[in-house]
Amino acid sequence: MTTTFTPILKADHLTKIYSDRPTPALSDVSLTIGKGECVGIVGESGSGKSTLARCLLRLESLDQGTIEFRQQLYHSLKGHSLRQARQHIGAVFQHPTAALNPKLTIIDSLMEPLDLQPSLRPSFISQPIRNREQIATQLLEYVQLPTKLLSAYPHELSGGQKQRVTIARAISTEPDLIILDEPTASLDVTSQAAVLKLLQELQQSLHLSYLFISHDLAAVYQMSDRILVMRHGQVVDQFASNDLYHEERHEYTASLLDVFLA
């Protein structure tokens, strides 16, 4: 856990409006993520969590607000500058099956980001590296998967294994920040626990920053240094994880806590 606060990402007053919705998907949302920190976002379905993730990844445009990432005005970057900045943000989504091309072997899916940037090699990969298979092998080792899976296709892997592949792909460019949007929601209980443990180990060994998004307060509490609670597109509560049980929590947070403790 980080002891000195060095911001890696700062988002201010983010607003996103869809023409087919009566209320904004995001309304004046602000957050900061420190270097080496995990910030958790929790809320029910429709609270705006995934919209926030897509806006931070620049997969959705903003109607209002600013995003600073690595001391750049990330929200206004375009073209080559945007592509360069994006290599420093990884993403892991809820459905690993949708994230992996069914026609590609695992090695080709895994190496896709590095194949697009041949000069980029993460510093945590042992040297000397001669070929992509050696790099892919080490990436699989980081997420505790056997090398034999490199020649497999996604349908031959379990849900937990596929999610580990997407995590390996996310760390392959050595990002400063990984946005994890419901990364365990599609997994069974055993796989959920294993993936959360893996994410914590990777955060410590690779000094990663996380934005961890989930409807599961237990998972957010386990992973996060700080927690933001979203409802109807707004942040209604935010606090250090250790203060989850504080009596001053918002009534909506308290209702989520009741479910957590049930």
Q: Is the pLDDT of residue 2 over 50?
A: no
3-state secondary structure 39-56: EEEECCCCCCHHHHHHHH
Give the per-residue pLDDT at 4.
Answer: 61
Q: Is the pLDDT of residue 167 over 70?
A: yes
Q: What is the CATH number of domain 1-88+177-262?
A: 3.40.50.300
As annotated, the residues of the chain forming the CATH 3.40.50.300 domain(s) are: 1-88+177-262
Q: Bridge partners of 39?
A: 211, 226
Report the distance separating Cα 26 and Cα 40, nearest Å.
17
Query: Span 178-193, mean pLDDT?
Result: 94
Answer whether 122's CB lies under 8 Å from 174's CB: yes
How confident is residue 76, by pLDDT bands cut at 50, 70 and 90? very high
Helix (H, G, I), strand (E, B) or coil at 99: helix
Give the per-residue pLDDT at 120.
Answer: 80
Torsion of CA 231, 62, 70, 136, to 10 degrees: 80
pLDDT tens-place string over residues 9-26: 999 999 999 999 889 999
Q: Is 145 exposed, middle or buried (0-12, 13-18, 19+ CB in 10 A)?
A: buried
Q: Bridge partners of 10?
A: 32, 68
pLDDT tens-place string over residues 28-71: 999 999 999 999 999 999 999 999 999 999 999 999 999 999 98
CA distances from residue 182 to 12, 16, 205 in whole angstroms, order as listed: 23, 20, 22
Give the per-residue pLDDT at 247.
Answer: 86
Give the per-residue pLDDT at 1.
Answer: 45
Report the distance separating Cα 19 and Cα 112, nearest Å.
35
Give the per-residue pLDDT at 129.
Answer: 66
